[in-house]
Amino acid sequence: MVDVASAPKAPPNAALETAAETAAAPLPTGAGATTPPSTLRRMFRHRGLTIGAFLVGTIIFVALFAPLIVPHDPYAQDLTRRLIPPVWYEKGSWAHIFGTDNLGRDYFSRTLYGAQIALLIGFSVMIVSGFIGSALGLIAGYFGGKVDMVVTFFITTRLAMPVVLVALAVVAMIGSSLFVVIAVLGLLKWDRFAVVMRSATMQVRSQEYVSAAQAAGASTWRIVIGEILPNVMPHLIVVATVEAGSAILLEAALSFLGLGVQPPLPSWGLMISEAKNFMFFSFWLIAIPGTALALLVLGVNLLGDGLRDVFAPGGRS
């Protein structure tokens, strides 16, 4: 079914191919494992990448220093000061820059803390799914043959399952919490990692330096870590950023449907869901977290795109 020797240019499965197409780029030429200085310089010159890095960096900074920056406790309610508009409205005040929500909590503080949750989710899911997917992809790409068949079958099966539906069902079963959401998303979203890693591994594996290492008698483990991994790393990074963004949006959707993070945690998706009741007359309550989400995912996507362009000389940029 899957011919190991055939170049990944014509993989036999449409889904795998298209998933790989949209995520991966042609390999960097050369057998070296380190980033040549010109790549770094290219990074700084790439406008999209710098914007993305700036956005993500700012949000990371905010998340890390939130406890020091916030003017109020994001969980402290004051029922007598509900739904105060942000400072740029007539009725707003500098005491609450972003106004207050339906329970009188300072929205600016909540938005800042929301960054922690968004990043935590994006990062954790990326790590869990990245680990699972990369391991599977590496194995499939390196060993080929029956192993590849089995892994490909896994991947195709996983692709056939609608993620949102399965996530909802599982969460409804176990009860939702931050941990459950991360676990469920992590266990579901490894497919792209697997596909790209498999594809990239197959390409690298056919390179000369790998056969040289094999001929020299190096152990499989060493070949994987020493030769393959460094060369597929760029692909991994690109996919990781895309998946992080996607995980953040998915958690927001789950929270929106009531099966994600539970209140009073200030997840941006949950904040949008809670603000739905007020969307017509207090639009800022959904606009602010919605914009924050969009900016974060935008930053992550730009970063990913930029990295892909930078790692692919003569590529699609």
Provide the mask over 232-271, with x wherever binding to another protein is found by CB under 8 A and - wherever it is not.
-------------x---x--xx--xxxx--xxx----x--
Alpha helices in the chain (DSSP H): 14-23, 37-45, 47-69, 107-143, 145-160, 163-174, 178-188, 191-205, 208-215, 220-223, 229-256, 268-275, 284-311
Indicate which single residue of 40, 69, 150, 164 sits in contact with another protein (rule: CB under 8 A): 164
Q: Which amino acid is at 81?
A: R
Residue 178, amino acid = L
Residue whose structure tokens are 């790590």: 127
* Interface pick for another protein out of 182, 302, 307, 310 (rule CB under 8 A): 302
Please state, in angstroms and rounded to a whole number, the distance separating the CA atoms of residues 243 and 225: 23
Q: Which of 213, 269, 204, 271 is CA-nearest to residue 231?
A: 204
- Considering only residues 172 through 211, tell me which ones interact with another protein, judged by CB under 8 A: 172-173, 175
In angstroms, the CA 264 to CA 298 distance is 26
Task: Identify which of residues 38 and 73 has a Cβ nearer to another protein in the complex.
Answer: 73
- Footprint of another protein on residues 102-131 (CB under 8 A)? 102-103
- Single out the residue of 136, 196, 293, 307 in contact with another protein (rule: CB under 8 A): 293
Q: Nearer Cβ to another protein, position 225 or 279? A: 279
Directed axis angle between helix 191-205 and helix 229-256, to 10°?
170
* 160 forms part of the interface with another protein (CB under 8 A): yes
Residue 30 or residue 264: which is nearer to another protein going by CB?
A: 264
Please report how close the Cβ of residue 276 comes to another protein at its closest, in angstroms. 5
Q: What is the chain's alpha carbon radius of gyration, rounded to the nearest angstrom?
A: 22
Minimum separation from the CB atom of position 108 to another protein (A): 16
169 and 229 Cβ atoms separated by less than 8 Å: no
Chosen residue from 15, 97, 120, 233 binding another protein by CB under 8 A: 15
- Least Å distance, CB 249 to another protein, is 6
Residue from 62, 84, 138, 272 touching another protein (CB under 8 A): that is 272
Q: Which of 3, 95, 222, 225 binds another protein (CB under 8 A)?
A: 3
Question: Does residue 217 bind another protein (CB under 8 A)?
Answer: no
- Asked whether the beta carbons of 255 and 175 are under 8 A apart, the reply is no
Q: Nearest distance from residue 44's CB to another protein, in Å?
A: 19
